[in-house]
């Protein structure tokens, strides 16, 4: 059975939402097709009887399947994907429907479909305005500075505070400062990696790249350099008895 085919089939109307006539009409088509595939024949009255009996069973045990899923189940069954069978009859088709409904691939597709419906049902989030983004970043930066004053330590996840202050041209580094801080960061990253180098071949590879200065792991050093620059900036403000909130004011838009 094809996952994409099942995923599409699941999106249709459940048999519980359809009339008995709609279900029986589709069953007549699918049973006739299955009989033809198997190289057999069936009388019209027998076809109608089988469709009626199956529609009753579907309303009892398979009412959450769609007509497209029932078609997949019957097609898979007649092609032997659910094992051997002896003739195409109501009992055989019920076994195929049950095998399809309990199959792992159907359960997986149905779970994905249900999650998609749940996500669609959630209220759509509106994008933040420029002023709201600025205010959020401002408060986050002040929170990190307050933490530094209180604990002597801050955790700038993703270097968000550094990026914000640099973007606002509050944290400006000279070319000389950048070179000095980058070299300090390279030494710190190298030292930290060297402590873990004994058993980890991946760490040894990264360490070699940094020591060679080939730029292959420049991101790791760059992130460390930004942390050092931000800490130096916080240290300067503290030594001057200034607070970050005095520098980054509320933005008026």
pLDDT digits (tens, 9 = 90+) for 35-55: 999 888 889 999 999 999 999
Mean pLDDT of 107-124: 82
pLDDT above 50 for 252? no
Question: What pLDDT does residue 25 have?
Answer: 92
Mean pLDDT of 79-86: 88
User: How many angstroms separate the CA atoms of 138 and 244, rounded?
Assistant: 9
Please count the CA atoms within 13 angstroms of the CA of 69 that sit on its side-chain side.
Answer: 29
Lowest mean pLDDT among 23-37, 101-115, 153-167, 232-246: 153-167
pLDDT above 70 for 111? yes
Q: Which is nearest to 27 in space by CA: 4, 49, 43, 7?
A: 49
Question: What pLDDT does residue 92 have?
Answer: 92
| Torsion region of 87: left, alpha or beta (phi above 0 gives left; psi -120 to 50 gives alpha) | left
Average pLDDT over the chain reads 83
Q: Which is nearest to 96 in space by CA: 70, 117, 126, 59?
A: 70
pLDDT above 60 for 121? yes
Confidence band of 214 (pLDDT split at 50, 70, 90): very low
Mean pLDDT of 189-196: 63
Question: What pLDDT does residue 192 have?
Answer: 63
pTM check: above 0.85: no
User: How many angstroms separate the CA atoms of 251 and 182, rounded?
Assistant: 32
Q: Which spans in 126-217 are helix H?
A: 130-151, 160-167, 175-195, 201-212
């Amino acid at each position: 059975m094809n996952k994409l085919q099942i995923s599409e089939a699941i999106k249709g109307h459940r048999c519980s939402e359809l009339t008995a006539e709609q279900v029986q009409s589709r069953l007549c088509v699918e049973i006739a097709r299955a009989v033809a595939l198997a190289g057999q024949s069936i009388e019209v009255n027998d076809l109608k009887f089988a469709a009626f009996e199956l529609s009753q069973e579907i309303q009892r045990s398979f009412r959450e399947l769609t007509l497209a899923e029932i078609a997949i189940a019957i097609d898979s069954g007649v092609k032997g994907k659910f094992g051997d069978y002896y003739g195409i009859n109501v009992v055989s088709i019920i076994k195929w429907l049950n095998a399809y409904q309990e199959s792992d691939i159907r359960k997986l597709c149905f779970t994905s479909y249900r999650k998609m419906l749940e996500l669609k049902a959630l209220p759509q989030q509106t994008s933040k305005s420029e002023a709201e983004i600025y205010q959020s970043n401002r408060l986050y930066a002040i929170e990190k500075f307050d933490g530094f004053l209180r604990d002597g330590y801050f955790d700038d996840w993703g270097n968000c505070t550094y990026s914000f202050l640099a973007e606002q041209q509050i944290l400006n580094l000279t070319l000389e400062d950048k070179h000095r801080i980058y070299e300090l960061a390279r030494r710190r990253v190298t030292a930290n990696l060297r402590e873990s180098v004994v058993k980890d071949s991946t760490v040894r590879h990264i360490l070699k790249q940094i020591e060679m200065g080939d730029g292959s792991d420049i991101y790791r050093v760059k992130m460390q350099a930004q942390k050092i620059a931000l800490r130096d900036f916080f240290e300067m403000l503290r030594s001057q008895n200034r607070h970050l909130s005095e520098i980054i004011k509320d933005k008026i838009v």
